[in-house]
C-alpha cells in the first residue's frame, strides 16, 4: 500500500502486543515465536518449546486427552522449516536466510520447488542443497545474498557466517 514502516515501529508493535497477550490459545506461543525469531532467537525458541509442550505437557489443563492441538503442531513445524531457515520464494527464486537457534545442531528436510525435489541440510556453519537427478529444469537459489543456479542431480554447499 506504499506506507513507510520503519523497523523500530515493528519492534514497538511487537512489544506492545506481547505485553498484552494472555497466551490463552495454544497458537499464541507459535505466533510469538515467529515474531521474536529475528529479534531474539533465544526468546523465540522458548515460545516454540512452550507451543510443543502444549500437547506433551498438557499445558492447556486437561484438554490433550480430547485430541492434539494440530494447528499448534503445524505452526511449530513451520517455525523450523520456514522461519529458522528463512525460506521464501521471491523474484522467481528460492531464498534462504538461515539463523538456527543454538539448541538445534541441524535441520534436514525435503521440499519440492518448481517440480524439483530438494533435500535441505542446515547446520550453523553450512547449508547444503541437494537436487534429485531427473528431468526438472534448473532452479535459482539465493542464500545470504549469494545466488546460484542448481541443476538436477547437483549438490551445492553454502558456507554460513559464524
pLDDT digits (tens, 9 = 90+) for 46-79: 999 988 887 676 665 556 566 677 888 899 999 9
* Same domain assignment for residues 41 and 63: yes
* Same domain assignment for residues 102 and 153: yes
Q: Which of 25, 59, 83 represents a domain boundary (last residue)?
A: 83
How far, CA to CA in Å, does 14 sit from each of 4, 11, 31, 114?
17, 5, 11, 35
Per-residue pLDDT tens for 86-131? 999 999 999 999 989 999 999 999 999 999 999 999 999 999 999 9
* Same domain assignment for residues 73 and 100: no
Q: Which of 83, 112, 139 represents a domain boundary (last residue)?
A: 83
Domain count, the chain: 2
* Same domain assignment for residues 109 and 141: yes
Parent domain of 43: 1-83
Beta bridge partners of 16: none
* Same domain assignment for residues 71 and 106: no
The pTM (predicted TM-score) of the whole model is: 0.82
* Same domain assignment for residues 93 and 66: no
Amino acid at each position: 500500500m506504499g506506507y513507510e514502516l520503519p523497523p523500530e515501529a515493528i519492534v514497538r508493535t511487537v512489544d506492545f502486543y506481547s505485553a498484552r497477550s494472555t497466551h490463552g490459545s495454544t497458537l499464541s506461543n507459535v505466533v510469538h515465536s515467529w515474531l521474536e525469531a529475528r529479534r531474539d532467537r533465544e526468546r523465540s525458541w522458548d515460545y516454540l518449546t512452550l507451543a510443543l509442550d502444549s500437547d506433551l505437557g498438557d499445558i492447556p489443563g486437561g484438554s490433550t486427552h480430547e485430541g492434539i492441538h494440530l494447528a499448534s503442531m503445524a505452526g511449530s513445524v513451520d517455525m523450523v522449516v520456514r522461519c529458522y531457515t528463512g525460506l521464501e520464494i521471491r523474484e522467481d527464486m528460492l531464498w534462504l536466510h538461515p539463523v538456527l537457534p543454538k539448541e538445534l545442531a541441524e535441520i534436514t528436510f525435503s521440499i519440492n520447488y518448481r517440480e524439483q525435489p530438494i533435500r535441505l541440510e542446515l547446520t550453523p556453519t553450512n547449508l547444503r542443497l541437494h537436487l534429485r537427478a531427473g528431468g526438472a529444469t534448473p532452479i535459482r537459489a539465493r542464500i545470504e545474498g549469494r545466488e546460484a543456479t542448481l541443476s538436477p542431480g547437483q549438490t551445492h554447499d553454502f558456507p554460513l557466517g559464524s
